[in-house]
């Protein structure tokens, strides 16, 4: 799947499925990744210690995995956007955006690179390009680029209507951990205030026809918000999915062994990774 195909699918109301890579950094991970059947993956560089070279090598190896490769950059900054795209990413996820100016800077770098400075700001604010040829060239060059904006705080939600007016946003990302902390209810994902905030985001985005991804880590929460309108399904992470697989399979093996020994199998519990 290309970035353009992914965007068209969600814009048409379809659902796309992906996960976040928080630990995987060896390019050899590209081989199993190709067999996961995912339509996109988010490669984290906000909380994970990946260098620019690590990201470039991983992107080069995973290019033929079939998944759209999106890099979560450390901060909403044009320099990080272009670094990720120049390294081979199909798109970027800019975390913790709160202002129109932050979002404009990210979108400008993602959708109109290599145009910079006053001229790219004029494109965002007025739609005027240096020439019709420049507009056609940049549209073709960046047609596969996916630009996701992180709405992860109360100030961001308060400013969401203005943020969504910025042209070029392909999706809104919600980080539940950051958002619940901002709401004063850390990690309480069934709290009425959190649910109210998510529904407010979903409603605002629906009006603007902008798809939403909410990064939950349990099947129950992911499917709940899928039913409520999320269309970018970003579920779990490499660490959490591996943990869940080990828990389920070794749990079954340990349970069988415990019956033979007339003992009780110990459950390792859910992963506590937050990304």
pLDDT tens-digit series, residues 211-255: 999 999 999 999 999 999 999 999 999 999 989 999 999 999 999
Give the active site residue among 47, 90, 191, 243: 47
Q: Would the pLDDT of 261 be above 90? A: no
Cα gap 96→193, rounded to integer Å:
19
Looking at residue 54, what is its pLDDT?
A: 93
Assign 3-state DSSP to the chain and report helix, strand, coil percentages, each to 5.
Answer: 50, 15, 35
Residue 164: other Cβ atoms inside 10 A: 21
- What pLDDT does 102 receive? 98
Q: For all residues of the chain together, what is the average pLDDT?
A: 95
| Residue 235 annotated among the catalytic residues of the structure | no
Q: Which two tokens stand for residue 75?
A: 């901060």
- Contacts for 78 with CB less than 8 Å, ≥ 6 apart: 105, 106, 108, 109, 116
Q: Report the run of H or E that residue 75 belongs to, with start and end.
A: none
Q: 238 by DSSP, 3-state: which?
A: helix
Which CATH number is 3-240 given?
3.20.20.60
Confidence of residue 143 (pLDDT cuts 50, 70, 90): very high
| Predicted pLDDT of residue 14 | 95
Average pLDDT over residues 70-95: 97
> CA torsion sign, 258 to 264 to 266 to 267?
positive
Mean pLDDT (whole number) for 33-54: 93
Q: Domain map of the chain by residue range?
A: 3-240
CB–CB of 216/274 below 8 Å? no
On the question of pLDDT at 274 being above 90, the answer is: no
Q: Is the pLDDT reported for residue 272 higher than 90? A: no
Decide: pTM greater than 0.75. yes
The CA distance from 204 to 211, in Å, is: 10
- Contacts of 12 by beta carbon, 8 Å cutoff, 6+ apart: none
Neighbours of 113 (CB within 10 A): 18
Residues with Cβ within 8 Å of residue 184, at least 6 apart in sequence: 193
Q: Please answer whether residues 205 and 211 qualify as being in contact, where contact means their C-beta atoms are separated by less than 8 angstroms.
A: yes
pLDDT level of residue 27 (50, 70, 90 thresholds): confident
β-pairing, 171-174 vs 68-72, is unpaired
pLDDT at 79 over 90: yes
């Amino acid at each position: 799947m290309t970035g353009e195909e992914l965007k068209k699918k969600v814009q048409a109301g379809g659902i796309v499925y992906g996960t976040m890579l928080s630990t995987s950094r060896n390019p050899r991970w590209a081989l199993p990744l190709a067999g996961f059947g995912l339509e996109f993956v988010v490669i984290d560089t906000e909380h994970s210690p990946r260098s620019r070279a690590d990201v470039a090598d991983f992107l080069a190896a995973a290019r033929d995995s079939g998944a759209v490769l999106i890099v979560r950059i450390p901060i909403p900054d044009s320099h990080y956007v272009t670094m990720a795209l120049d390294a081979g990413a199909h798109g970027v996820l800019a975390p913790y955006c709160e202002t129109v100016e932050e979002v404009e800077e990210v979108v400008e770098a993602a959708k109109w690179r290599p145009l910079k400075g006053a001229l790219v700001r004029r494109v965002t604010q007025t739609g005027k390009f240096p020439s019709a040829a420049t507009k056609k060239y940049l549209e073709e060059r960046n047609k596969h680029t996916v630009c996701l904006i992180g709405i992860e705080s109360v100030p961001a939600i308060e400013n969401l209507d203005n943020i969504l007016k910025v042209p070029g946003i392909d999706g809104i990302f919600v980080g539940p951990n950051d958002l619940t902390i901002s709401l004063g209810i850390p990690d309480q994902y069934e709290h009425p205030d959190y649910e109210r905030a998510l529904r407010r985001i979903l409603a605002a985005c629906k009006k603007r026809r902008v798809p939403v991804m909410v990064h939950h880590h349990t099947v129950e929460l992911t499917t709940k918000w899928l039913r409520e309108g999320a269309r970018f399904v970003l579920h779990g992470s490499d660490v959490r999915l591996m943990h869940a697989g080990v828990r389920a399979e070794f749990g079954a093996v340990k349970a069988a062994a415990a019956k033979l020994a007339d003992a009780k199998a110990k459950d390792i519990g859910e992963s506590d990774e937050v990304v």
